[in-house]
Amino acid sequence: DTAVSQTPKYLVTQMGNDKSIKCEQNLGHDTMYWYKQDSKKFLKIMFSYNNKELIINETVPNRFSPKSPDKAHLNLHINSLELGDSAVYFCASSGTATLGYGYTFGSGTRLTVV
Amino acid sequence: AQSVTQPDIHITVSEGASLELRCNYSYGATPYLFWYVQSPGQGLQLLLKYFSGDTLVQGIKGFEAEFKRSQSSFNLRKPSVHWSDAAEYFCAVVSSGTYKYIFGTGTRLKVLA
């Protein structure tokens, strides 16, 4: 059983397109996250939801819109894709939004914008 | 602002040798500290964490880390490295004011047979 699953694993698309990445966790966790990992492996948080409520919204272009239909799902929609959006996007979850709990990560979605 | 520094971008060790990966943090209060490992093409896996108590913490896969407040460090160690330990290692700190994890830039470990 995959704890945090992301689909698709790979996504190649043209500039200007709109795409979505889906994330689901079966751990019963309350909090989910989206992270972006660039080509230098730097990880930066984008968004976090706790029980469907947005609690972290970093300085991310508004072309990126997260949606959490329930606490087990956190999807990421990207409009008007740009070359600079190429990266690996990781979904993660944790048991609570409070401190001290580690994340469980998905295996990532490699987005390539051409 | 909180920050995490991993001074070594790449480290190469021979199989069976000991390992120490460095992590320094900048934070006003006692931080919540973590080490994660990322194998190629995979997500990150939690190795260990510290937020109070004994400053030497044990993790999975034979790793341990020591919190040293005086040096603002949380270095990761392993007494004998296995070839399967080759991966990218990330140190992270959690901000108490938010729920944000701040990751270091990672250290890539190469293991020589």
Q: How confident is the model at residue A87, as a pLDDT?
A: 96
Q: What is the 3-state secondary structure (H, E, C) of A52-113?
A: CEEEEECCCCCCEEEEEEECCEEEEEECCCCHHHCEEEEEEEECCCCCCCCCEECCCEEEEE
Q: Is the confidence at residue B96, as pLDDT, over 70?
A: no
Residues of B in contact with A21 (CB under 8 A): none
Give me the mean pLDDT over the A39-58 stretch: 88
Q: pLDDT at position A34, please?
A: 95
Report the C-alpha gap between A56 and A74 in whole angstroms: 13
Predicted pLDDT of residue B52: 82
So what's the pLDDT on residue B8?
95
Give the single-character DSSP code of A40. Answer: T
CA distances, B31 to each of A102, B97, B100 (Å): 13, 11, 12
Model pLDDT for residues B44-58, shown as the tens digit of each residue: 999 999 988 889 999
Over residues A25-45, mean pLDDT: 91
| pLDDT of res. A5 | 95
Comparing B52 with A114, which gets the higher pLDDT? A114
For Cα atoms B22, A99, B44, give the angle at the middle one, nearest 5 degrees. 50
3-state secondary structure of B62: helix
pLDDT band at B91 (very low <50, low <70, confident <90, very high): very high
pLDDT in tens, B7-47: 999 999 999 999 999 999 987 676 889 999 999 888 899 99
Average pLDDT, chain A: 91
* B23: contact with A, CB 8 A cutoff: no
Chain A neighbors of B43, CB-CB under 8 A: 4, 90, 92, 105-108
Neighbours of A27 (CB within 10 A): 13
Chain A residue with minimal CA distance to B35? Answer: A102
Per-residue pLDDT tens digits for A56-99: 888 889 999 999 999 999 999 999 999 999 999 999 998 765 55
Are B77 and B66 in contact by the 8 Å Cβ rule? The answer is yes
Q: How many angstroms away from the CA of A79 is the closest CA of chain B? A: 25
Cα separation, B99 vs A103, whole angstroms = 12
Which residue among B36, B99, B108 sits closest to A56, beta carbon to beta carbon? Answer: B99
Which candidate from B32, B90, B100 shows the least CB-CB separation from A56? Answer: B100
